[in-house]
Amino acid sequence: MKINLLIEKYFWAFLLAGILTGLWQPVVINAPDFVPKLLMGINLFLVFLKIDSLRIIENLGNLKLMVWIASAYMLFLPVLFYFLINIFDNELALGMLLLTSMPAGISIPVLTDLVKGNVPLSMSLAIVTQLVAPVTIPFLFWLIGGGVLHINKLQVFRDIAMLVFVPMILAQLAKRLLPGTINKTKNFFTSINVVVLFSFVYIVMSSQRDVILSNPASLIWKTVVIYAVFISLHIIGYMIGYRQPKENRITLSVGAAYMNNGLAIVLAATYFSPGILALMILSELPWNTLPGPFKRIVWKL
């Protein structure tokens, strides 16, 4: 088997290795803040080289679908999980409200590509949910969380421009200027993305290693809850698109489960208790270990 196909097949092993390596042998030098964003930009650039941006625009034009998905992802599901978990633990419920209210992760097109979903649809979901996040997140915390959270709207929109639109434009330019080179090398883009994702996970886990390992016993049950939430989001996301083609249902499942937990970590560190920050960091575990099993299960359905 060619090395690129081997990497694609066992992409979950690379993501798991990023977690374990970051905890066991963290990077010695603190990476500048822009490095994770740069790696994510590279991910998206490679994804955009493989897809037609016109298909993204077509999906954005499906207003009914976009409004329904954005409402479910950004409002209904966060409220549902908050009230369910609040029965047992208020701080944990507040943490889940923060996590599940995040927009779809910028990297979900990469994950969608790995699990063979509809990549243009996933990119549309990422763009729409990022655009509405500055409104829906403060609204939820005003309504439920006591108004403790204030979002820097300009910073969110700046990140959208840098992490979504810049790679998109650069990819379109590359396809126009180097069409022959792109066609010859596009079979390697996904495997390269797996390696880049490994680097991203390794850096994030290294930077938060001390927080994760400070009190591991108390975090075990929280980890169980987080995995249960992620699995539930997978199932709900898949069911939301029950009338859609399978490729779209896979995409909706990925979009529901893999939110922008990087933004959640930043917000938790700024506005919330250390317990909630640790919870956001723990979300890296299901975020990076569930795509592999999901791919195997969903294509057997």
Please state, in angstroms and rounded to a whole number, the distance separating the CA atoms of residues 43 and 171: 11
In a domain, 3, yes or no: no
Q: Which domain holds residue 81?
A: 31-298
| Residue range 67-104, pLDDT digits in tens | 888 899 999 999 999 999 999 888 889 899 999 998 88
For the cut 90, the answer to whether the pLDDT of residue 139 exceeds it is no
Residue % of the chain over a pLDDT of 90 = 15
In a domain, 115, yes or no: yes
Q: What is the pLDDT of residue 148?
A: 59
In a domain, 48, yes or no: yes
In a domain, 221, yes or no: yes
- Where residue 223 sits, what CATH number does that domain have? 1.20.1530.20
Please state, in angstroms and rounded to a whole number, the distance separating the CA atoms of residues 232 and 257: 8
Most confident of 31-40, 57-66, 148-157, 190-199: 190-199
**Mean pLDDT along residues 45-74:** 77
In a domain, 21, yes or no: no
Radius of gyration of the chain (CA): 18
Our count of domains for the chain comes to: 1
Tell me which of 165 and 170 has the higher pLDDT.
170
Please state, in angstroms and rounded to a whole number, the distance separating the CA atoms of residues 187 and 10: 16
Tell me which of 222 and 82 has the higher pLDDT.
82
Most confident of 30-34, 41-45, 173-177: 173-177
Residue % of the chain over a pLDDT of 70 = 87
Q: Residues 202, 22: contact at Cβ < 8 Å?
A: yes
In a domain, 4, yes or no: no
**Mean pLDDT along residues 265-291:** 80
In a domain, 223, yes or no: yes
C-alpha distances out from residue 230 to 84, 114, 177, 236, 255, Å: 14, 18, 41, 10, 11
For the cut 90, the answer to whether the pLDDT of residue 233 exceeds it is yes
Of 197, 199, 12, 40, the closest CA to residue 130 belongs to 40
Give pTM, 2 decimals.
0.77
In a domain, 14, yes or no: no
